[in-house]
Amino acid sequence: MNPLPPDLAAALHRAGERTAPFGTVVHYFQETASTNEVAGALAERGAPEGTLVIAGAQTAGRGRLGRGWYSPADAGLYASVICRNRAAAPLLTLAGGVAVAGGVRAATGLPVEIKWPNDIVVPSGRASPRWRKLAGILAEASSGADGLQHVVLGFGINLRPAAYPPAIADRATSLETELGRAVEPGPVLAEVLAAFAEAFRDLAAGQRQGLLDRWRALAPSATGSRITWETDEGRGEGTTCGIADDGALLVRTARGTSRIISGEITWRR
Ligand code: BTN
């Protein structure tokens, strides 16, 4: 573990009342394999809910669907939090999306959107590709004999332009690229955690509707977009018609409405 950089410490301190319990305990690493991995190991050893793990760089950052997350030094925010509340667990991924999108908007004013399931993107007009990805969220749950033990919710936010691998270079962007100015990581981290804490409190209290409404408002492409998809059950195509209250993407097809809970989506015009 390394000392938390002073700018991050100051931002977390200023926002402490709004972010609690997230960030009350912080583990900072200049470099680590994956903050999700570290947070998972800490959770197994009994670390409390809200524990925050941040890294300046990751050597084996994890993405969705078994992919990696490119995490060079001085280019991004790489962070994970430990959640234990069972009532909040089912919608934590949606809460993460709302928190990152809402936090980035609050800290910088950049009008980012959510693209199902939880990519944080900047719309790019009619150009191809249609969006550039700014941030991603990965929730990893651990269960034992008596049910859910904990969920680690990790988020990666591109702050500055980097030498992205060719496979993602034309689809990735950063806050500084989009805004054309320098961006301090501290306020972005604090606003994301504050938005997450708010969503988490609602979920823990059994209130889901506000979060679902916020997610839907931040994800215009979840309604009226032509998509094709591929899951273990096969391929399909149709037009998105919102999300169900459990987070499944609803798609109107020639044969009725399909529910997609995971898999690869291709967005058409
Ligand atoms: C995605 O594929 O969109 C999800 C990416 C999630 C990346 C973050 S970076 C911090 C945390 N630690 C990881 O190893 N992954 C998540």
Contact 157, 175 (CB under 8 A): yes
CATH number of the domain that 150 lies in?
3.30.930.10
CATH number of the domain that 236 lies in?
2.30.30.100
* Boundary residue ending a domain (215, 242, 258): 215
In this prediction, residue 109 carries a pLDDT of 98
Ligand 1 midpoint to CA 254 (Å)? 35
Is 179 domain-assigned? yes
**Assign residue 23 a region: left if phi > 0, alpha if psi is -120 to 50, beta otherwise?**
left
How many folded domains does the chain comprise? Answer: 2
Is 241 domain-assigned? yes
Is 61 domain-assigned? yes
* Boundary residue ending a domain (215, 239, 257): 215
If pLDDT is split at 50, 70 and 90, which confidence band does 167 have?
confident
Q: What is the percent of the chain where pLDDT is above 90?
A: 86
In this prediction, residue 264 carries a pLDDT of 81
Atom of ligand 1 nearest to the CA of 119: 3
185 plus 236 within the same structural domain: no
Comparison of pLDDT for 167 and 110, the residue scoring more: 110
Is 150 domain-assigned? yes
Q: Which residues line ligand 1 (CB under 6 A)?
A: 34-36, 58, 61-64, 67, 69, 78-80, 119, 136-138, 154-156
Whether the per-residue pLDDT at 129 is higher than 70: the answer is no
Query: In the predicted model, what is the mean pLDDT of residues 201-207?
Result: 96
In this prediction, residue 38 carries a pLDDT of 98
66 plus 190 within the same structural domain: yes
15 plus 125 within the same structural domain: yes
Ligand 1 midpoint to CA 134 (Å)? 12
In this prediction, residue 13 carries a pLDDT of 97
- Residue 234's domain comprises 220-267
83 plus 182 within the same structural domain: yes
Is 40 domain-assigned? yes
In this prediction, residue 81 carries a pLDDT of 98
131 plus 249 within the same structural domain: no
205 plus 229 within the same structural domain: no
Query: In the predicted model, what is the mean pLDDT of residues 215-244?
Result: 93
Residues 6+ apart with CB under 8 A from 152: 36, 39, 40, 43, 80, 81, 82, 83, 139, 140, 141, 142
137 plus 258 within the same structural domain: no
The SS3 of residue 16 is helix
* Boundary residue ending a domain (215, 235, 251): 215
Is 1 domain-assigned? no
Return the sign of the alpha-carbon dihedral for residues 107, 108, 110, 112.
negative
In this prediction, residue 125 carries a pLDDT of 66
Residue of 36, 83, 92, 153 with the most ligand 1 atoms within 8 Å of its CB, for mutation:
36
Ligand 1 midpoint to CA 185 (Å)? 17
Is 119 domain-assigned? yes
Ligand 1 midpoint to CA 238 (Å)? 29
Query: In the predicted model, what is the mean pLDDT of residues 181-206?
Result: 97
Residue of 138, 192, 193 with the most ligand 1 atoms within 8 Å of its CB, for mutation:
138
Query: In the predicted model, what is the mean pLDDT of residues 141-160?
Result: 95
Question: Per-residue pLDDT tens for 33-53?
Answer: 999 999 999 999 999 999 999
Give the C-alpha distances (Å, rounded to integers) separating 257 from 158, 226, 238, 243, 260: 35, 14, 9, 11, 10
Is 192 domain-assigned? yes
Ligand 1 midpoint to CA 136 (Å)? 6
16 plus 137 within the same structural domain: yes
251 plus 188 within the same structural domain: no
130 plus 89 within the same structural domain: yes
Query: In the predicted model, what is the mean pLDDT of residues 61-85?
Result: 96
147 plus 119 within the same structural domain: yes
Atom of ligand 1 nearest to the CA of 136: 3
In this prediction, residue 141 carries a pLDDT of 96
Helical H runs in the chain? 6-14, 16-19, 35-44, 92-108, 166-169, 175-179, 185-204, 209-218
Atom of ligand 1 nearest to the CA of 64: 2
In this prediction, residue 126 carries a pLDDT of 63
Residue of 77, 78, 193, 264 with the most ligand 1 atoms within 8 Å of its CB, for mutation:
78
Residue 52's CB is within 10 A of a number of other CB atoms, namely: 24
182 plus 105 within the same structural domain: yes
